[in-house]
Chains A and B, each alone.
Chain A
Amino acid sequence: MTRHSLRLRLLVGAAVAVFVALAFAWLAMTLLFQRHLELRVEQELRRDALQLVAGLSIDPAGMITAQQPPTDPRLSIPAGGLYWQISANQQSQRSRSLWDQALPSSPQADATEWRTRQIDGPFGQRLFLLERIVQPVGSMERVLVQLALDENEQTVARNEFSQTLALFLLLLWAVLAGAAWIQVQLGLKPLQRLRRELSGLRHNASERLSADYPQEVEPLTKAINDLATAREADVKRARQRAADLAHGMKTPLAALAAQSRLIREGRSDPQAAADGLDRAISAAGAAVEAELARARAAASRHARQDAQASPLAVAQKLILVLERTEKGMRLDYVLDVPETMRLAISAEDLSEVLGPLLENAVRFARREVRVSGSTTDDTITLSVEDDGPGLSAAEIAQVMVRGVRLDQAGGGHGLGLAIARELVEATGGTIELGTSPLGGLRIELRWNRADRLASSTDNRPSSKVLQAVKARLQTAFARLV
């Protein structure tokens, strides 16, 4: 597992957290136990002390005696661990267990209450000492009463307790860590499945992730599925386009091969051969042009949505170009487009749309080419008209069939309409041919204002999916947290 393993992170996190919690518990419980022991010992000593004090007497000579010393057997064994001592003036009486030793006298002892402290006692023992100064009835004598217990007992008990507790807590830690491991395993299992399915998806583009994932993972799988669908469509489209192009090139190539064979066999006169070659070259050129048009349209489909072109400005520039041509300079151009009109398409693309249309109009016009634009609440309409011969209804119908060239007469420029159509349709518009009041052809481009937004987002699968992925990841993250 690498440093970035989610499982390792979760496991280590859980183990460390549990360990810290248990160590803290161990420390706290040990302290509590010790405190409890001390209380018990203090209570015991107090009981003995009370008994000792109750039997305290001072004879007229000033001798103090303990009438009823406590009877604990440890008191009778030298260094037995439990000791008492009463002292007043220079004399004192003590338990047998103290033998020839004495408990140190205490400057801090108080007459109002029992005090406890720890001292280094005789026999090298550490003692827990309870002491008080008492004044027996009918005497002026201050008597120091001391009882002591070897702390060793407590220490042993506490150590034993803390060791047992530590052992138990370690066991508990192991169990909890195991539980965490199982939890992580279970929690990450869907991700492992996801990985397997994803690698399957890589090998087979049409495969999709199954739908029965936990609800936290499901948004992710859905987003991945959407992305895969969009990708598959893209790839399919690209393949189709490559096939189209290859197909478009095949015919001219065959024609070229045929011409080459004819020339080799000497069956073709140079003029006819050159004509044939030119035809094949222009057909190949046409195929390439058409493909470029589609590529441009595809690029426009993915273009920035906030593109804003002014049809008036674009038309003015295009007319500037067309006016330079032999035919174009003989024509009158009428621009009837509102200055504020804007289209959600880049100026470059609009140039590619209007350029060929205007060029066609110029070619066929007699005197006038007219560009007009109008806006309603729902639609934006641009039209290019000329006063040339126009097309009959049958010709229009034929031209509108996909792939048919609008103009079979002009040399090599006829594909302009294909580019324009691809671009207009890529930006969610429609193109319509009709007869102009001027007498010639009228080409009308119409964009649905509301549609343009909607369709342009629909037409951008990748970015839409990315947005969805982002949104779903956020949801998933929110749920996990």
Chain B
Amino acid sequence: MRALVVEDDPDVGPDVVRALQAAGFIVDLAKNGEDAWFKGDVEDYDIAVLDLGLPRLDGLSVLKKWRANARTFPVLILSARGDWTEKVEGIEAGADDYLAKPFEMGELITRVRSLIRRTAGHSVSTLTVGTLQIDTRRMTANLDGVPLSLSQLEFRLLNYLAHHVDRAVPASELADHLYGANEAGDSNAIEQLVTRLRRKIGTKRIETKRGFGYVLTAGDE
């Protein structure tokens, strides 16, 4: 796993690098925005940890440049200001998660691992079911070329069903996946969620196999 750490602070930067190396990553450190932009553009990283306050080119601009150049590796933003306006700006610029300074190194490693798990889980980045297109990296979906406005939960339901078009997925399995294994399955909540998703992508596209579960179809027949 390769990671890029972008941090200009002489103490924090090497500290993060050491922690990530200890966690098994091969780490590059960039100390200013321009260097970060260059490295992110030419190297293939599995994750980038990006500080926002950088010399020469600020973190948000670096992130926007990466994304404009179709660099899709997950980005974890480190922010000293930690206010919500900045968080929103970061996510809107294409970040995947944020962490406010000061942070605990353990928390950082946890976030990095979960980000990689979340975004690198699928070998294919685009799934197609009929006229429905799902971009698993950007976590967006198009129907007949028109972007769908889905909540994260709705997207994850659609994504899971799209990965298992060959079989009916039981509600309990969906609940496990969507809410986590430690939560008790609640088929009622899943039903509501499916209903909402049907409203957005068309009722016929999710079939209910009574006693078995849900199947995502092309919705043509």
Contacts and interface: CB of A to CB of B under 8 A. Distances in A.
Contact of A411 (B104, B156, B193): B104
A281 B88 contact: no
Nearest to A334: B151
B88 A318 contact: yes
A321 B96 CA distance: 8
A366 interface: yes
Contacts of B183: 330, 366
Interface string A331-369: 111000000000000011001101110000000001100
A466 interface: no
A275 B90 CA distance: 32
Contact of A329 (B88, B91, B153): B153
A285 B100 CA distance: 12
A317 B92 contact: yes
Interface stretch (B29-37, B41-49, B79-87): B79-87
B165 interface: no
26 contacts: A281-B102, A285-B102, A318-B88, A319-B151, A320-B88, A320-B91, A321-B87, A321-B90, A324-B98, A325-B97, A329-B118, A329-B152, A329-B156, A330-B183, A331-B153, A332-B193, A333-B151, A348-B85, A351-B83, A351-B85, A351-B88, A352-B83, A355-B83, A366-B183, A367-B189, A411-B107
A188 B153 CA distance: 77
Name the prevailing secondary structure of the B interface residues.
Answer: helix
A373 interface: no
A15 to B, nearest CB: 65
Interface residues of B, number: 29
Interface of B: 83-85, 87-88, 90-92, 95-98, 102, 104, 107, 111, 114, 118, 151-153, 156, 178-180, 183, 186, 189, 193
A480 B186 CA distance: 81
B83 A348 contact: yes
Interface in A108-145: none
A324 B156 contact: no
B196 to A, nearest CB: 9
Nearest to B184: A366
Contacts of B84: 318, 321, 351-352, 354-356
Contacts of B186: 367
Contacts of B156: 329
Contacts of A352: 83-85
A429 interface: no
Contact of A321 (B91, B179, B193): B91
A356 B84 CA distance: 8
Contacts of B98: 321, 324
Contacts of B85: 347-348, 351-352
B151 A332 contact: yes
B153 A332 contact: yes
A328 interface: yes
B179 A324 contact: no
A319 to B, nearest CB: 8
Nearest to B110: A326
Residue among A323, A351, A367 facing the most chain B CB atoms (10 A cut-off):
A367
Nearest to B111: A326
B170 to A, nearest CB: 18
Given A318-B84, A351-B88, A367 B179 contact: yes
B123 to A, nearest CB: 21
Contacts of A333: 151, 153
B76 to A, nearest CB: 10
B151 A355 contact: no
4 closest Cβ pairs, A-B complex: A355-B84, A323-B152, A351-B84, A317-B88
Given A321-B84, A333-B151, A326 B193 contact: no
A333 B114 CA distance: 22
